[in-house]
Amino acid sequence: MNKILYNELNKVTATKIDFKPGDTKIFIPRSIKILNTSLKKGEVYRIKLKSFILNPSSGSTLASNWNNGIIPKYSEYLVEILDGMANMIKVKGVAVDDETSLFIGWLPMDGFETLSKE
């Protein structure tokens, strides 16, 4: 294993990777734990999105890289936590103000405020 790969693997914090410098095959387990939060996968929460999610800056890549170009239209959603990866969570939710407005996508943990558990 080269030094660059070894150093990068040592930086991983999202999951536990067991490896030795001489390993040629490495198994990286998928983490089901959502880090830095008390939110739990499969549970429903009422959240309020922060302004940088609703009105992204021109340099923001969240919508294009994570959500297929979709930007949420409303500030409050009832969401189910579908998945988590590092400081991002995938949610499926409906807007509180418009029950026909569905949003399925990824959000950074600092991009919303949890109002309540439903």
Instruction: Return the structure tokens found at 57.
Output: 């800056």
My answer on whether 66 and 90 are in the same domain is yes
DSSP secondary structure, 54-96, as one string: HS--TT--IIIIISTT-----SEEEEEEEEEETTEEEEEEEES
pLDDT of residue 4: 86
My answer on whether 22 and 60 are in the same domain is no
Per-10-residue mean pLDDT of the chain, 118 residues long, equals 79 72 77 58 92 89 89 94 88 92 92 88
Instruction: Return the structure tokens found at 56.
Output: 């992204």
CA separation for the pair 17, 31 (Å, rounded): 11
What pTM does this model have?
0.66
My answer on whether 52 and 82 are in the same domain is yes
Q: Which domain holds residue 4?
A: 1-30
The total of structural domains in the chain comes to 2
In-domain check, residue 35 = no
Q: What is the CATH number of the domain that holds 108?
A: 2.30.30
